[in-house]
């Protein structure tokens, strides 16, 4: 399983492929990783401090209009 | 002799006993043996919820790990069934039926009919359904009404460990394609289950509790919710009869109708969303066939017409509970023209 994670992980392989081919600089990929991690962290923090949803929220965002 | 085991163990035991009895029974699914590259050790997963744990060593070559491709392995199971095996395929979540639905509804369900009664497709698709484990909108649905809608499929909803074992053995021996729906919140529940092999016939509802005041038809996990509600109602002098249909296709209409003829009141409890579901189906049956016996409008306790919410507080509101069932019963008891 560890070997599979090391050699088959599609994100790792994508990184190797696009950097080896010269499509993207490793620094650009690192920047994306940092941006995404920050976004997730902020979203989790927001969700944790947000009020608990109420019954009215059960039907929120199911349709645009209904 | 009966002993107390879990719903998960009851399913495992049914599989083991049928594999022992009939060499044509094979089990397949994602991680059923233990995951890609795993030797299928006894401590391996045995499927995502451990249901097939231990079968790999007992039945060499008959417990197959499949790729994460419902389309491929459900198709393989259906094909193997037409070629003489009795495959039990594990579709991890019922929510994933979308990727393999053609193999089920347009192939397996149609072979008997389109080959003029010459084909048999004895495939069982075991699949996990239902809300309550905080698994969000794509892993919590109750999609069995969609299968029930398709002629040619049989649809099973075991409500307890005893039901799970007897109904699964029946499913494996049945010559038609069977969708065997396991509620994920039931896997750890326990109950008395005979050690010996036994079957529970399809289309024969179980009267879980006798009562003369109101009929509650409850499906799958909702049977225990109805029992909880009935215990509270009994303390208030209301005796509910609880019917577990066991299978939605075939549906035991007679037992439901006989009960309503006696009680005059019907509450249907289903965790599925309400449109085109079993609650509507059973209500329509009773309205048509037992209209004269009804003393109050039929009540339906279902999930709302929304996806299953992730927030625990909302998921709790989403799932029918004993209080909602009791309220529906009281509404039928208090109803005046």
CB within 8 Å: B317 and A55: yes
CATH class of the structural domain B206-334: alpha beta
CB within 8 Å: A58 and B306: yes
pLDDT reported for residue B46:
79
- Does the domain at B2-194 match CATH 3.40.50.970? Answer given as yes
CB within 8 Å: A4 and B311: no
Nearest residue on chain B to A48, judged by CA atoms?
B311
Q: Comparing B2-194 with B206-334, is the CATH topology the same?
A: yes
pLDDT reported for residue B252:
98
pLDDT reported for residue B31:
84
Tell me which residue in B35, B36, B314 faces A53 most closely, judged by beta carbons. Answer: B314
Known catalytic membership, residue B183: no
- Would an 8 Å CB–CB cutoff place B309 in contact with chain A? yes
Nearest residue on chain A to B37, judged by CA atoms?
A1
DSSP B179: E
Domain ranges of chain B: 2-194, 206-334
pLDDT tens string, chain B, 337 residues long: the values are 899 999 999 999 999 999 999 999 999 998 887 655 555 555 567 788 889 988 988 898 999 989 999 999 999 999 999 999 999 999 999 999 999 999 999 999 999 999 999 999 999 999 999 999 999 999 999 999 999 999 999 999 999 999 999 999 999 999 999 999 999 999 999 999 999 999 999 999 999 999 999 999 999 999 999 999 999 999 999 999 999 999 999 999 999 999 999 999 999 999 999 999 999 999 999 999 999 999 999 999 999 999 999 999 999 999 999 999 999 999 999 999 8
Tell me which residue in A1, A4, A58 faces B318 most closely, judged by beta carbons. Answer: A58
- Edge-to-edge strand order for the sheet containing B214-218? B206-209, B240-244, B214-218, B266-269, B299-301
- Would an 8 Å CB–CB cutoff place B250 in contact with chain A? no
- Would an 8 Å CB–CB cutoff place B45 in contact with chain A? no
Task: Measure the CA–CA gap between B228 and B325, rounded to whole angstroms.
Answer: 9
What is the distance in angstroms between the Cα of B252 and the nearest Cα belonging to chain A? 34
Task: Output the CA–CA distances (angstroms, integers) from residue B62 to B21, B40, B176, in the order listed.
Answer: 13, 12, 21
pLDDT reported for residue A3:
78
Residues in A whose CB is inside 8 Å of some CB of B read 1, 4, 52-53, 55, 57-59, 62
CB within 8 Å: B304 and A4: no
Can you tell me which residue has the tokens 């081919």?
A: A21
ipTM field: 0.82
Can you tell me which residue has the tokens 């075939």?
A: B250
Nearest residue on chain A to B34, judged by CA atoms?
A1
Please compute Rg for chain B using Cα positions: 20
pLDDT reported for residue A4:
76
Cβ-proximal residues to B329 (8 Å cutoff; 6+ apart), any chain: B214, B216, B229, B233, B238, B240, B265, B267, B299
Task: Measure the CA–CA gap between B222 and B301, rounded to whole angstroms.
Answer: 10
CB within 8 Å: A58 and B36: no
Task: Output the CA–CA distances (angstroms, integers) from residue B154 to B12, B62, B94, B268, B321, in the order listed.
Answer: 21, 24, 15, 21, 27
pLDDT reported for residue B44:
61
pLDDT reported for residue B90:
96
For chain A of 66 residues, list the mean pLDDT of each consecutive stretch of 10: 80 94 95 97 96 92 91
- B182-208 pLDDT, tens digit per residue, is 999 999 999 999 999 999 999 999 999
Structure tokens, B59: 């039945």
């Amino acid at each position: 399983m560890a070997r599979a994670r090391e050699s088959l992980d599609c994100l790792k392989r994508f990184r190797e492929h696009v950097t080896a081919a010269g499509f993207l600089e490793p620094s650009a990929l690192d920047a994306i990783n940092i941006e995404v991690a920050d976004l997730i962290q902020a979203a989790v923090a927001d969700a944790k401090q947000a009020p608990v949803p109420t019954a009215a929220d059960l039907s929120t965002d199911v349709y645009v209009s209904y | 002799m009966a002993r107390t085991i879990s719903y998960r163990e009851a399913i495992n035991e049914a599989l083991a006993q049928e594999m022992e009895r009939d060499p044509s029974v094979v089990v397949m699914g994602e991680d059923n043996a233990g995951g890609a590259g795993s030797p299928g050790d006894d401590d391996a997963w045995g499927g995502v919820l451990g249901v097939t744990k231990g079968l790999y060593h007992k039945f060499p070559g008959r417990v197959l790990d499949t790729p994460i491709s419902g389309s491929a392995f459900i198709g393989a199971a259906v094909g193997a069934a037409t070629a003489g095996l009795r495959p039990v395929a594990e579709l991890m979540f019922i929510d994933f039926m979308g990727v393999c639905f053609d193999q089920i509804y347009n192939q397996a369900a149609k072979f008997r009919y389109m080959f003029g009664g010459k084909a048999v497709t004895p495939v069982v698709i075991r699949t996990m359904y239902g809300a309550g484990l905080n698994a969000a909108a794509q892993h919590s649905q109750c999609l069995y009404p969609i299968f029930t809608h398709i002629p040619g499929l049989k649809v099973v909803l075991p409500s307890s460990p005893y039901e799970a074992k007897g109904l699964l053995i029946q499913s494996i021996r049945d010559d038609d394609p069977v969708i065997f729906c396991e509620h994920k919140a039931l896997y750890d529940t326990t109950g008395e289950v005979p050690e010996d092999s036994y079957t529970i016939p399809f289309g024969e509802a179980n009267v879980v509790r006798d009562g003369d005041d109101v009929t509650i038809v409850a499906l799958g996990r909702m049977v225990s919710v109805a029992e909880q509600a009935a215990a509270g109602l009994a303390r208030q002098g209301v005796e509910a009869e609880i019917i577990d249909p066991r299978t939605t296709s075939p549906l035991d209409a007679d037992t439901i109708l006989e009960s309503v003829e006696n009680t005059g009141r019907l509450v249907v409890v289903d965790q599925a969303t309400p449109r085109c579901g079993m609650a509507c189906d059973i209500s329509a049956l009773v309205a048509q066939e037992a209209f004269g016996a009804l003393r109050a409008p039929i009540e339906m306790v279902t999930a709302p017409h929304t996806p299953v919410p992730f927030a625990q507080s909302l998921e709790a509101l989403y799932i029918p509970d004993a209080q909602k069932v009791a309220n529906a019963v009281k509404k039928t008891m208090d109803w005046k023209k």
